[in-house]
Amino acid sequence: MAQEVLLEAKGVTKRFGGLTAVNKVDFVIYKGMIAGLIGPNGAGKTTFFNNMTGLYTPTEGDFIFNGKPITGLKPHIIQDRGISRTFQNIRLFGQLSALENVLVGMHTRLNGTVFEAFFRPKRVIHEEKRAREKALDLLDFVGLGRDSAEMAARNLPYGFQRRLEIARALASDPKLLLLDEPTAGMNPQEKKELTELVDHLRKELGVTVLLIEHDMKVVMGISDRVSVLDHGEKIAEGLPKVVQANPKVIEAYLGTGAAAEGA
């Protein structure tokens, strides 16, 4: 299988004082795949994301994206290179409208400068118009509908907020989309719909997706490959079915007692 590597993590370690949150993790994502990253709470999944997106700098190790190292770059530069993300605890721009949230996500793909903000040349007027249309399309795509476009993000229902965050992340046409527990706090029906959306965006937009999930069921359905973190270390990786049956994984998820019982 001639697969092209999109992102590679080499021995990434992150320590907070005495606590090692991520421990020598090697990780590869190929173009076009949906990769799942699972693990119990506190396993270091979010920390791994934060290191990849520049909010933290890894204590050791490197991230290579599209053949170039991105370790230690500023978050906005990493986003510009093509990695977008959502947050586990939704972080929208609460007082901006849904549309504006998406437009902010498009920031690196627009050219209007500070001066042009005041002088508004034709070029910028056109650019803004096209940006708005594209943003509305994106809102449609994630299932928000155009009616919500002018609503302040913080007044949207919870499920819509999750979807809006995805739309914002998609606005820069990322090569790699990182989703941090996008179904957290949802009921089974909502979870199913969101899972479908993720599947959909890979098929229609061709983005590569790295999906963090706490809920195993969600990942198993759509992931091409699943990796498992526990106490900051990668303890298993492979096809969903295979990983699911791995005793180490069961143990991590259920605790040693339960694993012993099963054995």
Partner 1 sequence: MDIFIDLVLIGLSNGGIIALNAVAVTVIYCAVRTLNLAHGDVYALSSVMTMVVLRNILPLDGPPSWSQLIIGLIVSVISTIIFGMVFSMLIEFLGFRLFRGQSRLAPIIATLGLSFMLYQLALVWRKLLPTFSAGEHRSVPGVDELPRDVVPHVFPQLDVFQALGINTTSRFDIKDLFIIVCAPIAAYLVHLLLNHTKIGRSIRACAQNSLAAQMVGVNLNGAIRAAFAIGGALAGIAAFIFAITVERPVANHGAQSGLIAFTAAILGGIGNPIGALASGMLIGMFAAFSDYLLDGRWTPALIYLLLVGLLMWRPSGLSPEERVSDLSQQTSDVVVLNATRASAALRPSAILINLVPLALLYPLIVPLIGEYYLPVVNSFLIYVVLALGLTILLGFAGVLDVGYALNFAIGAYIMAYMTGPAMAWRDQLLGFVPDGLIVFPVIILITGCLGIVKGWITSRMRIDYLAIATLALSLMMRDILKNSGAGGVGGFSAIPPPTLFGVHFNNFTMQYLLVLGLVAIIVIGSYRLLNSRTGRAMAAMREDEYAAQSSGVNVAFYKSVSFFIGDSIAGLAGGLYASMLSFAEPGLADFQVSVMVLSMVAIGGIGNITGAVFGVFSIMGLDRIVIPFIQSLMGEQPFVQFTLRELNFLLFGLALYFSVFVSRRFKSKTEN
Ligand X SMILES: Nc1ncnc2c1ncn2[C@@H]1O[C@H](COP(=O)(O)OP(=O)(O)O)[C@@H](O)[C@H]1O
Contact 213, 220 (CB under 8 A): no
Would strands 60-65 and 5-16 be described as parallel, antiparallel, or unpaired? antiparallel
The reply to whether 42 sits near ligand X by the rule CB under 6 A is yes
Six-digit token string for 1: 């299988």
Q: How many residues interact with partner 1 (rule CB under 8 A)?
A: 46
- The interface mask with ligand X, positions 10-39, x = CB under 6 A, is ------x--x-x-----------------x
Q: Give the residue with the Cβ less far from Mg ion, 34 or 43.
A: 43
Q: Give the residue with the Cβ less far from partner 1, 79 or 195.
A: 79
Candidate list 45, 162, 168, 234; residue touching partner 1; CB under 8 A: 168
Q: How far apart are CA 239 and CA 241, in angstroms?
A: 6
The reply to whether 256 sits near ligand X by the rule CB under 6 A is no
Candidate list 11, 26, 72, 95; residue touching partner 1; CB under 8 A: 95
Q: How far apart are CA 61 and CA 57, in angstroms?
A: 10
Q: How far apart are CA 49 and CA 71, in angstroms?
A: 12
| Shortest CB 40 distance to ligand X, Å | 7
Q: Give the residue with the Cβ less far from Mg ion, 58 or 143.
A: 58
Q: Give the residue with the Cβ less far from partner 1, 108 or 246.
A: 108
Residues 122-181 that bind ligand X (CB under 6 A): none
Instruction: Please count the residues of the chain.
Output: 263
Core vs surface per residue 224-242: b (16+ CB within 10 A) or e = ebbbbbbebbbbbbeebee
Q: What's the CA dihedral at 190, 193, 195, 200 to 10 degrees?
A: -160
The reply to whether 80 sits near partner 1 by the rule CB under 8 A is yes
Segment lying near partner 1 (by CB under 8 A), choices 87-95, 221-229, 236-244, 250-258: 87-95
Look at the block and give the residue holding tokens 């995805």.
Answer: 166
* Sign of the torsion angle spanned by Cα atoms 15, 18, 21, 26: positive
| Interface positions with ligand X (CB under 6 A) | 16, 19, 21, 39, 41-47
| Interface positions with partner 1 (CB under 8 A) | 16-17, 50, 53-56, 74-76, 79-80, 84-85, 87, 89, 91-97, 100, 103-105, 107-108, 110-114, 116-118, 120, 124, 128, 150, 154-155, 168-169, 172
